[in-house]
Amino acid sequence: MSEQKNRQIRLARRPKGMPDESCFEMTEEAIPRLREKEVLVRTLYLSVDPYMRGRMNEGKSYVPPFPLGEVIVGGVVGEVVDSRHPDFAKGDLVVGQLGWQDYSVAPGKHLTKIDPDLAPITTALGILGMPGLTAYFGMVDIGKPKSGETVVVSGAAGAVGSAAGQIAKLHGCRVVGIAGSEEKIRYITEELGFDAAINYKTVPDIRKALSQACPKGVDIYFDNVGGDITDAVLTKINYQARIVLCGQIALYNLEKPDVGPRNFTRLLINSAMMKGFIVSDYADRFPEGMKRLTEWVSQGKLKYRETIIEGLENTPRAFLGLFRGENIGKQLVKVADPQV
């Protein structure tokens, strides 16, 4: 095992504004030997997620920055190829926060086994993983949807947004999605059952479109994007509205601080609530979230899509594509097939 080379993608430089492939470099090194309680995992699928952009900067975002020159860390589904931990055996399928690399060594306690008979293993990075849980807790715990309310979701065709909107539908809400292509609009309305959708790239007047799509105003806004779209939605909020601040992807690559209407007065005069969160805030409720998500997926009530690029070397391209809106649903990179 240890003679085999391990390809790794490292943070080569911190981006200013929009990152490009020169921010990453691919290196190779030997696979390290296992120590007691460690497990060697062969990467099958990698997750690329918008929040990782924040970790490329120097300052703390949700989580500490990626160290310069180190392997990028993110969600990985892999297969155990060697183990010195009693709970893991060769052939086990696992998910964890591992590296953008062919092989990762991790303490067993940082890994979670997944059952390939329950759902496709890729779902552990999507609808039954961090994005699904993010949508669940954001919508259910912060949004608190009530039957008959109107919910707007931005980034509605993404991994989190598409799940958040469907969860609101399951609570009896009218759900309006905002997305950036006709294909995405068709996906969320025709396949996922959103009541209406707005293509923010082509609509002449987003406020007017929101007024038409939300004749009773907006009770919950699940925000993945920020910026101008959020400004527009905030003009339509109702008394006691809830704004779920999940992401601000429109801002992550700005070179200057985000400036615009401060908009707090909108919250003030509507007794509205805005709450930021990260899924780990809900770590002690993950079992509840997984149970609900698994039930809904198995009953066909919660649909998902994955956009999969092949090849570890294409991981930076997949990541950068997130900021161009190239993905529908969860963006994954397939690195290898299971061997065992």
**Site for its own copies, rule CB under 8 A:** 54, 60-62, 223, 226-227, 230, 240, 245-248, 251, 257-265, 267-278, 281
- 155 φ, ψ to 5°? 60, 40
* CA atoms of 96 and 26, how far apart (whole Å): 21
**List of residues 6+ apart from 75 with CB closer than 8 A:** 46, 47, 49, 95, 96, 97, 98, 125, 129, 130
Q: 235 or 307: whose CB is closer to its own copies?
A: 235
Q: How far is the CB of 176 from its own copies (least distance, A)?
A: 20
The CB-of-259 to its own copies minimum distance in angstroms stands at: 6
| Shortest spacing between CB 275 and its own copies, in angstroms | 4
The smaller minimum CB distance to its own copies, of residues 34 and 245, is found at 245
Angle between helices 286-298 and 159-170 (to 10 degrees): 80
The closest of 332, 300, 304 to 128, measured between CA atoms, is 304
Q: How far is the CB of 206 from its own copies (least distance, A)?
A: 17
- Closer CB to its own copies, 211 or 240, in the complex: 240
Q: What is the C-alpha separation between 173 and 167, in angstroms, rounded? A: 9
Residue placing its CB nearer to its own copies in the complex, 55 or 184: 55
Cα dihedral 145→330→63→251 (10° resolution): -80
CB 137 within 8 A of CB 113: no
> What minimum distance in Å lies between the beta carbon of 136 and its own copies?
16
Taking the complex as a whole, how short is the minimal distance between the CB of residue 102 and its own copies, in angstroms? 32
* Nearer residue to its own copies within complex by CB, 252 or 296: 252
| Closer residue to its own copies (CB): 65 or 193 | 65
CA distance 332 to 319: 9
